[in-house]
Chains A and B, each alone.
Chain A
Amino acid sequence: MSVLVFVEGLNGEIKKSSLEAASYGSQVAQAMGTTATAVAIGDVHEEALAKLGEQGISKVLYDADDRLKQFVADAYVKVIAKAAQQESAKVLVFSNSNIGAAVGSKLAVRLNGSLATNVTELPKIDGGNFTVTRGVFSGKAFAQVNLTSDVKIIAVKKNSTDIISNGGSAATVEKLSADLAESDFAAAPKETVMQDTGGGVLLPEAEIVVSGGRGMKGPENWHLIEELAKELGAATACSKPVSDIGWRPHHEHVGQTGITVSPNLYIAAGISGAIQHLAGVNSSKVIVVINKDPEAPFFKAADYGIVGDALEVLPKLIEAAKALDK
């Protein structure tokens, strides 16, 4: 019996969301009196894997098959299922990413397990009950869910777990081979295109997000959002109307029908705070709202607010951000 964590790599390093999953997994292992093993695939350096010891991982199984550098669900599932079997894993932990949740769903069928995605807290383990808390109603509520199968699969929401860094000594890295066949790659991507963030931060992984709404008055003013984001090391985002009009791309749309974010700091400029937008951001730790309408509903959900025109306020924030010691 053990806990198995799937870690995703990007450009040789382990993604921040996977360090969170590893931290989550090792804490579950501790609560269950067992150890946590990680399984890694594809694009990640072995030194980075050994460092998972800091997150409390004792052993890493690594499949270095070059074909796995891009995401192929069926092949990933096979590798992770093999690791789960080898380790007799009873709890599998993923990041709630497009990859983690997809692979987790397929493994739930293959391993006959219970799956919870979008999980926001460590489980409560009480006798026979294993209860997780997950975000539901697109950020408007949480649900406590009992996972009733023998095998439990958890996909942890990004930015909802602290990364632990004093877990222990370096993890041992062992090779894993799942004897993949050509047929496992039948749905392999033809092409993978990464967004050019201009050296900026990706929205789903961001700890700080600077977001603009219709109060920005037009795409020509977005340099203010971008400049503040750059000074703060933040990702940029927008409200639904802004992506609908085409001022900004769809993948920046935050809200109930866009993406849900939970950064440490969310700065909203010129966004009124419709209930659908609030649903996408209300698990952010600190919310700042800049809006010229003092009655904007967003102020009720904010920690800090400035009643003023975003186009006049943002330059002042950029100036103050430039003056910070970094």
Chain B
Amino acid sequence: MKILVCISNVPDTTSKINFTGDNKEFDKNGVQYVINPWDEYALTRAIELKEAKGGSVTVLNVGEADAEPNIRKALAIGADDAIRVNAHPKDAYFVAQQITAVANEGGYDMILMGKESIDYNGFQVHNMVGEMMGIPSVTPAFKLDMVDDSTARLEREIEGGKEVVEVKLPFVASAQQPMCEPRIPNMRGIMTARTKPLKVVEPTGGEAKSEYVNYSKPEKKSGVKLIEPENAGELIKLLRNEAKVL
């Protein structure tokens, strides 16, 4: 089974988010980058399936060279090889086109990724790739198993419940918890990752359909109004009469 896992290189969840250049650009200064946490579920599950059924796991990133440490980290966790499409990921549509081009060429059985990136929160790319390739996309999935060599069984979250879906290979799925326990690299993995192939390819096409023009941050709260714990009931009255939310 050939599995393609798409990963994004994103600011660590503890990052403070700032903008520069008249709020037109994200300020990378002092920001640590990690593999998008949602993508870690897809990566680990792909490696588990490979271990159980044989095959290979290829990691794909659409991004610039500064993503390579985290691509190496994915290799250290257990992927076999990697491809980086050398481009700034302009928008979801652009990224989906790049993934589709790589996936069509590679003939993968499964294309997995996280349900969204924690920086741009699109929840778009997986469904766009499915549509571009004309294959099913099951999102967001929290369970993924093989029924037989050509059929997978997934459970996906819907508002207020879940759906059980069976699809034939090939398909696209996006992952979220509790699909698996994401792995961290061990020393042996880190050593072998250095020599695993990482291919850099240039983007194809390149059309984006949206344009980020400006950023802003949420307004700061004006300050907390404290209520003594002995008079906790007073809070309920304030919520009704002052805040008017009850």
Kindly list chain B residues whose C-beta atoms are within 8 Å of the C-beta of A195.
160-162
Decide: B127 and A275 in contact? CB cutoff 8 A: no
User: Does A251 belong to the interface (CB within 8 Å)?
Assistant: yes
Shortest CB–CB separation between residue B125 and chain A, in angstroms? 8
**CA–CA, A146 and B211, complex, Å:** 5
Q: List 22 A-B contacts (CB under 8 A).
A: A73-B136, A98-B159, A105-B92, A114-B209, A117-B121, A143-B216, A145-B210, A148-B211, A189-B165, A190-B164, A193-B161, A253-B177, A260-B121, A275-B13, A276-B14, A302-B224, A304-B243, A306-B228, A312-B229, A319-B233, A320-B235, A320-B237
Query: Is B86 located at the chain interface by the 8 A CB criterion?
Result: no
Question: Is B184 part of the binding interface, using a Cβ–Cβ cutoff of 8 Å?
Answer: no
B139 interface hit (Cβ, 8 Å): yes
User: A115-B210, A146-B213, A187-B138 are contacts. A141–B14 as well, Cβ < 8 Å?
Assistant: no
A186 touching B136, Cβ below 8 Å:
yes
A138 engages B232 (CB within 8 Å) = no
> Is the beta-carbon distance between B161 and A320 smaller than 8 angstroms?
no
A163 at the interface (CB under 8 A from B): no
How far is B156's CA from A288's CA once the two chains are assembled, in angstroms?
A: 32
Q: Which residue of B lies closest to A246 (CB)?
A: B178
**In the complex, which residues of chain B have a beta carbon less than 8 angstroms from the beta carbon of A308?**
229, 232
Contact A304 B128 (CB under 8 A): no
Bound-state CA distance A320–B14 (Å) is 37
Within 8 Å CB of B92, what residues of A? 105, 115
- Chain A residue, CB-CB nearest to B41: A257
B16: chain A residues at CB < 8 Å are: 140, 275
B 116-138 contacts with A by CB, 8 A: 118-128, 130-132, 136-138
Taking the complex as formed, is B37 at the interface, i.e. its CB lies under 8 A from any CB of chain A? yes
* CB pair A324 B225 closer than 8 Å: no
B166 contacts the other chain (CB 8 A): yes
Contact B210 A148 (CB under 8 A): yes
With known contacts A106-B130, A300-B221, A306-B232, A193–B162 Cβ distance under 8 A: yes
* A194 contacts chain B at the CB level, 8 A cutoff: yes
User: Is A173 interfacial (CB-CB < 8 Å)?
Assistant: no
Evaluate whether A141 and B163 lie within 8 angstroms (CB atoms) in the complex, with A98-B140, A251-B157, A317-B236 already known. Answer: no
**Chain B contacts for A10, CB-based, 8 A:** 160
Report chain B residues within 8 Å CB of A68.
none
A181-197 at interface with B (beta carbon < 8 Å): 186-195, 197
Check if B142 is an interface residue, CB within 8 A of chain A: yes
Q: Counting CB contacts under 8 A, is A313 at the interface? A: yes
Q: Which of B139, B238, B246 gathers the greatest number of chain A CB atoms within 10 Å?
A: B246
Q: Is A147 an interface residue (CB 8 A)?
A: yes
Give the residue among A102, A190, A260, A286 with the most B Cβ atoms within 10 A.
A102
Query: Hey, which chain B residues are within 8 Å of A205, CB to CB?
Result: 159-160
Which of A137, A265, A312 touches B17 (beta carbons < 8 Å)?
A137
Pick the contact of A232: B120, B139, B246 (CB < 8 A): B246
Instruction: Please indicate the chain A residues that have their CB under 8 angstroms from the CB of B171 in the complex.
Output: 187
Known A99-B158, A257-B38; contact A264-B245, beta-carbon cutoff 8 A:
yes
> Residue A164 at the B interface, CB < 8 A?
no
Interfacial chain B residues near A133, Cβ < 8 Å: 216
A283 to B228, CA, bound (A): 26
- Please pick, from A15, A189, A251, A256, the residue contacting B164 in the complex, using a CB distance under 8 A: A189
Given contacts A105-B127, A145-B213, A194-B161, contact A256 B227 (CB under 8 A): no
Question: Is A245 among interface residues, defined by CB-CB distance under 8 A?
Answer: no
* B209 close to A148 (CB less than 8 A): yes
B-contact 0/1 string along A216-228, CB 8 Å cutoff: 0000000000000
Is B229 a contact partner of A317 (Cβ separation < 8 A)? no
Report the Cα distance A186→B167, complex, angstroms: 8
Taking the closest CB of chain B, its distance from the CB of A104, in whole angstroms, is 8
Q: Is the CB of B211 within 8 A of A305?
A: no
A303 touches B243 (CB 8 A): yes
Distance (whole angstroms) from the CB of A37 to the closest CB of chain B: 23
Chain B residue numbers with a CB within 8 Å of A301 are 221
Residues of chain B with a CB closer than 8 A to A71's CB? 158, 163
Q: Are B118 and A108 in contact (CB under 8 A)?
A: no
- A149 interface contact, C-beta 8 A: yes
- Do residues A304 and B121 form an inter-chain contact, with CB atoms below 8 A? no
Interface assignment of B188: CB less than 8 Å from any CB of chain A: no
